Chains A and B, each alone.
Chain A
């Protein structure tokens, strides 16, 4: 079976399971699946930056926070329905990401990592300090309205389950399309060899910036969903550890691989819920897993399968074909 068919089959099975899940699960487990869905969205958004473009971003929680706060402020102050703020939150997070990434995007791997950690912390401190008098300080913002879709009020975990996983499905579809687009291929080339990409006419600085902005936009929109689900947001939900967990999901699942990232989200967010007895040791295990993975399976659990292009349209010359030509050439020259 080809890799493409396997992928479609995998998604089919996953979709079928998710469709029947609400019949068998209670509200608690549906809420766990909601968390998995939100983390899957965030990890997919980070995967665009970290996996596809190869930019070490450990401040994804900051973009998530910007989106959530934009949505919450627009909803509580201007009473814009929360789902209508979705695009605005995305645009807000993207603009923010573009502005902060612009001066530092050229920094090499680990330096970019440090800078994005710093950026994430500055955002969190700014939120705690009630910046512009809009963010509500350490208490955050509460009283965010429930979303209404076609006149239906979304408030039970089951309602959110459909909303979140529909958004996940849409995201997976779009990101697969993006992966195969000119943009996606350019990003992959950029990650593998920046010099070769530059040489092939890829404007590397611009592509990196666009990847950053796009990833941030998706994290921002996920922030809106989170704000709508919780109805209350506070700075502690967007701490450095959120960024670490997202980073871990992408690395563990397989950097650059969409199904890998989805599996990573299930393992990192879902598994600890099953083994609740070990809840305190959760991060300990994650740390150990990160070290062991890097030593024994660097590429992640479900690594990105690189597309192989068969050179079907190029006339293939075998050695046998070439030799007589060379022979005749030499004979002609001799003559």
Chain B
């Protein structure tokens, strides 16, 4: 039982990270009907930028651990958001009217390009975050020791998701995003600047992805330039699981996938851990392409 509880919290922490990345996929898909293959790499940029800023600015010594992490998060999210907007301008906007394959190939190209830029700058080896930024004490809950970092990761991802949900539901810009996702043409006729909506989506999605990258760096301590592709695939699975284009769906899908993976690795086989997510992906596309909460269909020919 202890084992189960421990794996559950672990799954929720990883799932929160998946969910943050999945939101970027699902928002872009909602508005542009495009799978942004480079999104996983934006997540990696978050992790690397976080590491660079952390070590070069030595924030921790100046304003304490909590302030340092918060300021770091703001800077990383801002920088990755800028990269996201530039990516959209360079790789996707010229192809807005082209056949879908062109945009997909361009997205793949962008992903390869971003990944290899990181490799050339930082090298191919694993990079490590400095120790002791977050407290490494554990909390006793129901007789199980849970690392406090894990709870912080879950908390951080839930707070960001809640903020996004409120933003999309309650603000004018959020309404514009939802309108553009349903029908771009009609939205344009209602006076919504769709290009601006796309830009905002490419600000928010990468910002959340970058934050997830920072969380991974702080939580696991090790980052690599290729990690974006595995996290990206899993987050995409989460988005499909919840129903692509559906924002609450991405959150639920992410948390579920994290838990499924953690429990599967613990009780079935750790060697097959990475295959679990892909099996979930294939099964969901065969059995229920709309996802658990989604109304949008993974279109069939």
Contact = CB atoms under 8 A, between A and B. Distances in A.
A14 B289 CA distance: 47
A15 interface: no
A217 to B, nearest CB: 22
B113 A110 contact: no
Nearest to A283: B116
B126 interface: no
Contacts of B289: 107, 111
5 closest A-B pairs by beta carbon, nearest first, are A290-B109, A287-B113, A287-B112, A118-B278, A284-B116
A110 B34 CA distance: 8
Given A109-B100, A109-B101, A284-B117, A121 B106 contact: no
Interface stretch (A122-130, A147-155, A157-165): A122-130
A234 to B, nearest CB: 16
Contact of A108 (B271, B272, B299): B299
B116 A287 contact: yes
B102 interface: yes
A284 B91 CA distance: 15
Contact of A107 (B119, B269, B275, B298): B298
Contacts of A289: 109
A126 B111 contact: no
A119 B282 contact: yes
Given A121-B275, A290-B106, A291-B91, A104 B112 contact: no
A295 B94 contact: yes
A244 B112 contact: yes
Interface in A214-261: 240, 244, 247, 251
Nearest to A100: B282
B102 A280 contact: no
Nearest to B279: A122
B108 A244 contact: yes
Given A107-B285, A284-B116, A287-B108, 19 more contacts: A106-B300, A107-B289, A107-B298, A108-B298, A108-B301, A109-B100, A111-B299, A117-B233, A121-B233, A125-B272, A128-B271, A204-B301, A247-B105, A284-B112, A286-B112, A287-B113, A287-B115, A293-B105, A294-B102
A125 B274 contact: yes
A292 B60 CA distance: 42
17 contacts: A110-B104, A113-B35, A113-B104, A118-B233, A122-B278, A240-B229, A244-B112, A247-B108, A281-B120, A284-B120, A287-B111, A287-B114, A287-B115, A288-B109, A290-B108, A294-B103, A294-B106
A261 to B, nearest CB: 15
Interface of B is mostly: helix
Nearest to B230: A121
Interface of B: 35, 90-91, 94-95, 98-106, 108-117, 119-120, 229, 233, 236-237, 240, 269, 271-272, 274-275, 278-279, 281-282, 285-286, 289, 298-301
Contacts of B240: 114
Given A284-B113, A284-B120, A291-B106, A115 B35 contact: no
Contacts of A291: 90-91, 106, 109-110, 113
Contacts of B95: 294-295
A104 B237 CA distance: 15
A35 interface: no
A74 interface: no
A105 to B, nearest CB: 10
A257 to B, nearest CB: 15
Contacts of A293: 105, 109
Contacts of A110: 35, 100, 104
Contacts of B114: 287
Interface in A276-335: 280-281, 283-284, 286-291, 293-295, 298
B274 A121 contact: yes
B252 to A, nearest CB: 20
A303 to B, nearest CB: 14
Contacts of B35: 110, 113-114
A56 interface: yes
Contact of B104 (A56, A244, A283): A56
Nearest to B274: A125
A189 interface: no
Given A125-B275, A294-B95, A294-B103, A115 B281 contact: yes
B109 A104 contact: no
Contacts of B105: 247, 251, 290, 293-294
